[in-house]
Structure 1
Amino acid sequence: MTVTTATATTATATTATATTATVPTSDVDPFSHEVLEDPLPMHAELRDAGPVVLLSRHDVFAMARYDEVHAALVDWQGFQSAAGVGMSNFRYEEPWRPPSLLLEADPPRHDAPRRVLQKVLGPRALRRLHERWRADAEALVDEVLAAGTEFDAVPALTSVFPLRVFPDAVGIGQEGRENLLPYGDHAFNAFGPSNDLVAKGAPRVAELSGWVAAQCRREALAPEGFGADIWAASDRGDITPEMAPLVVRSLLTAGVDTTVHGLSAVLYAFATHPDQWARLRSDPSLSRVAFDEAVRWESPVQTFFRTATTDVRIGDTVVPEGRKILMFLAAANRDPRRWADPDAFDLFRDPSGHVGFGMGIHQCVGQHVARLEAESLLTALARRVRTIELAGPTVRHHNNTLRAWESIPVRMTPA
């Protein structure tokens, strides 16, 4: 990666006069396999380069420091989501699917769907699920340990558990659930450039999109569950009938892959930090803190884009209206300007304030569901497992947006 300085001339929104600023410019490709395998050196270089950097390979601006990323996330008026949170600019390009009403919309179109989901996924619903998910987690852990104490944590635990409990909660049937992971993988790849990762998923786009759309219909959903609650909201007039399947789709797109990789992150963290696992075992109430610290430390969602709605000044640089800005959530979550010893996974830390779930009005509406899944699985493991260690080389799964795992071989010593 090479960082240089370039001179950019733009017009400010207030004076419409030309201003000149020196913009750090990098030739790094954040979506290359080399960077996706280990993005941490790139994150450090971008943070050190300045508050905003021009990525010359893709002609987009980028922010990697916590303060600037946080500010952009909460400023939906200046940093638009409705033009797409990926590299494609919906002002000029046709989306590959109807845009998400939660992720790719701004007020007022964003407001009603978010209010509905906040209620559907609220504390009352999660209280109903708490005991059921805890029992499901205990059964899964018992089943896995009965088969042997050395196994791959990704297919055995972190992929299986969300696919067991979350679709049940939404109200979709058992058949075809395996489609959710490749669909979500392609959806998150599509936020990046049209590279080999997008091409890999392209042959199944029509099939997977059709299957997901079919699961979002009222008649396909169980009479009780998150999906039925969303359709009931359309009956009350809280959202339109046209919005209801798109809101259900948002759950199925964002509620599985991100949780799978969040659970993988926390298990990898404990396998490589035995002292922290011992601390969790001594105090299982730290399970949610552990999950949030893993989300900060590993950042399953690495990046999202915004689009400048006006000429916007970031540091000494004016980013022109209409330009894409890539926010490195993962880099912000390890910014030493915000976090003490940021590369450490530490349960003594207060990880609140991390941007792994976003921030502001577009903050992940399902984050409490993910925390409940993590709490259920970690509590079950803490009761049954004395030690966790890596049992072989780990393998990353490359995705343009997600920090994901293909394989985490572990050895667990029963308590």
Structure 2
Amino acid sequence: MRGLSSDFRTLFEGQAMHEKRPALSTSIDDLPVLTEMAGDRWGGDFGPLLADLFAAEDTSLMRALDGSVLAFRNADLRALSANRDLGNLPAPLLTEAFEASVGAESAFKRLAANHVFTMNPPSHGPMRQVFARQFMPNKVDRFRPAAIKATRRILAAASGRPEIDFLTDFSFRLTTGFWGELLGFSQAEVSELNSLVPHVSQAFSFIRTDEQTRLVERRAADYLALVSTGIQRSLDVGPPDYLVEMAAEFENAEVEKPDNIALMLAATLLDGFHTMAFGLTNVVHALLTRPEQWRAVQNDPALVPNAFHEGLRLAPPAVFTQRYALADVEHAGVSIPKGTPVTMFWLAGNRDPDVFPDPDAYDLARPVAGRTTFGGGIHLCPGRSVAKMVIETALAELTSPHIEVTVTGAADQWVPMSSMHELERMPVSIEAR
């Protein structure tokens, strides 16, 4: 669950500034202050903003006006990821804006509360494993036929049309079709998901009107009802083996947990629908805007995994997530008190020049090590392997000799002021040769 606390939202409304850090720092108050960021800098390719951040060589962690801590250097992100005293941002803090607009009985708050990514010990580990164990690297190949089927169905529907928006007409349809196939959803249910998921994803925008928040709230309620009901139906009528194993592990877990497995899976799979869609779009965008790289992958399918990793290094779908100090934490000489939010700026970690030479360049031969695309530590994305499999499956189909993909309009505008790295539009045509 990738969201933004309401207090943190105020940091993105002006011009980026920070003060130099003292030689020694013992408390958050001693950190350099990131006072504000302008909307035109929090988006796009983040290049100017990151150049400013990394230019201050003696600056590690930073402080925001609300008292939260910002980690942006690769080494700090990786070290903090491994610290078990940094947990997930609790759902009540994540959903403050929704409560303010729609009241305490918020459907989005209910969704967040049942999402694995807002749980903390002792529930977090066992509940995370319920999901993660079924999508380990050695298990995802059993889901590849569903990914191929969904990809080819969408390719057939898109081929010959003068123009489609790749994100809405291809990527979202692929993720909803893929998960719908695994969960036994009808085509009508998959179509409904296509209309719901993009609206629920607006929850990750920094700036919404009350009316927009209420729309997200209504769509979140519809999404949670549709997906949890569909999962429960699959469990009742003869579920696939992986759902049987999930349900058994859920029931046997002796920790506080959601009311049922269907509710937890529905909430957690929201990321499976929208983050995977953004990831696929960003990987394809990185190649299509570099025609020589697209041709390289066409000529050598073995480069598909390289294209996946490098595309998401430059444009990971999650710009950042927020962690939460479950106890007092000491890092790099800084004392982070219990209860402090810590913002993990993953995109910046992927562009750290200390780890990635020429960090803004696209390099298919770049080593994979050191990337922060999927977070790290005990919070490493549990769906990363299935996301990799689905995106690579789609990319292999799109770059095959019998498919031609052409950019048909401007595809360089990123949604501003969001915790997700999402293109506003990516117009393409797809032709089967």
The answer, yes or no, to whether TM exceeds 0.5 is yes
Any residues of structure 2 matched to 1:386-405 within 5 Å, and which?
388-394=405-411, 395-398=413-416, 400-405=418-423
Question: Contact 1:311–1:318 (CA<8 Å) still a contact in 2?
Answer: yes
Calculate the TM-score normalised by the size of structure 1.
Answer: 0.83
Mapped pair 1:158 → 2:165: no
The alpha carbon displacement at 1:274 in A equals: 1.5
Aligned to 1:216: 228
1:43 aligned residue: 50
In 2 relative to 1, CA 361–312 (structure 1 residues): closer, same or farther, beyond 3 Å?
closer
Query: 1:233 aligned to 222, 242, 249, which one?
Result: 249
Alpha-carbon separation, structure 1, partners of 2:92 and 2:50? 20
Structure 2 counterpart of 1:205: 217
Which residue of 2 is the match for residue 406 of structure 1?
A: 424
Q: CA deviation at 1:338?
A: 0.9
Give the distance between the partners of 1:84 and 1:63, measured in 2 at CA: 21
Correspondence 1:7-406 to 2 at 5 A? 22-29=30-37, 32=39, 34-49=41-56, 50-56=59-65, 58-77=66-85, 79-81=86-88, 83=90, 96-97=109-110, 98-122=112-136, 126-148=140-162, 150-173=163-186, 174-175=188-189, 176-182=192-198, 184-189=200-205, 195-196=207-208, 200-217=212-229, 219-221=232-234, 223-225=238-240, 227=243, 229-235=245-251, 242-315=259-332, 317-384=334-401, 388-394=405-411, 395-398=413-416, 400-406=418-424
Encode CA deviations 1:172-217: one digit per residue, 9 max, x unaligned.
443221254135414434xx5xx32676232341453254145214
Q: Give the match's secondary structure for 1:35.
A: coil
Quote how far apart the aligned CAs of 1:380 are: 0.9
Instruction: Give the helix-richer structure, 1 or 2.
Output: 2
Asked if 2 retains the 8 angstrom alpha-carbon contact of 1:179 and 1:208, the reply is: no
Structure 1 residue runs without a partner (length 5+): 13-18
Output the CA distance in 2 between the equivalents of 1:7 and 1:280: 44
CA–CA distance in structure 1, aligned partners of residues 91 and 165 of structure 2: 36
1-structure distance, mates of 2:290, 2:210? 34
Contact preservation (8 Å) 2:89, 2:322: no
In 1, Cα distance between the equivalents of 2:118 and 2:323? 10
Whether the aligned pair in 2 keeps the contact of 1:117 and 1:230 (CA below 8 Å) is yes
Aligned residue type for 1:220: R
Alpha-carbon distance in structure 2 between the residues aligned to 1:279 and 1:197: 44
Structure 2: give runs of 5+ residues left out of the alignment.
Answer: 1-14
Deviations 1:63-94 (A, max 9, x none): 111110111112122x22153597669xxx98
Between 1:267-276 and 1:313-322, the stretch displaced more is 313-322
Partners of 1:64 and 1:241 lie apart in 2 by 33
Deviation at residue 337 of structure 1 after TM alignment: 0.8
Q: Which residue of 1 aligns with 2:11?
A: none
Shift of 1:238: 7.7
Question: How many residues are aligned here?
Answer: 398
Q: Compared with structure 1, are the counterparts of its residues 323 and 267 closer, same or farther at alpha carbon in structure 2 (3 Å cutoff)? A: same
Structure-2 separation of matches of 1:408 and 1:319: 41
Q: 1:36 to 1:24 in 2, by over 3 A?
A: same
CA, structure 1 residues 156+200, in 2 after alignment: closer, same or farther (shift >3 Å)? same
Calculate percent identity across the aligned residue pairs: 21
Q: Which secondary structure does the structure 2 equivalent of 1:325 belong to? A: strand
Q: Deviations over 1:95-119 (max 9, x none)?
A: 9235245212233211212222223
8 Å Cα contact 2:200/2:216 also seen in 1: no
Structure 1's 68 and 365: CA in aligned 2 closer, same or farther, altered over 3 A? same
Pair 1:199–1:351, CA change in 2 (3 A) = farther
Q: Measure the CA separation in 1 of the matches of 2:161 and 2:120.
A: 48
* Equivalent pair of 2:328/2:336 in contact (CA under 8 Å): yes
Change in 2 beyond 3 A, CA 1:356/1:84: farther
CA gap 1:389/1:337 in 2 versus in 1, 3 angstroms: farther
**Mapped partners of 1:106, 1:228: distance in 2:** 25
Deviation, structure 1 residue 229 = 4.7
Q: CA deviation at 1:318?
A: 3.3
- The answer to whether the 8 A contact 2:202-2:216 is kept is no
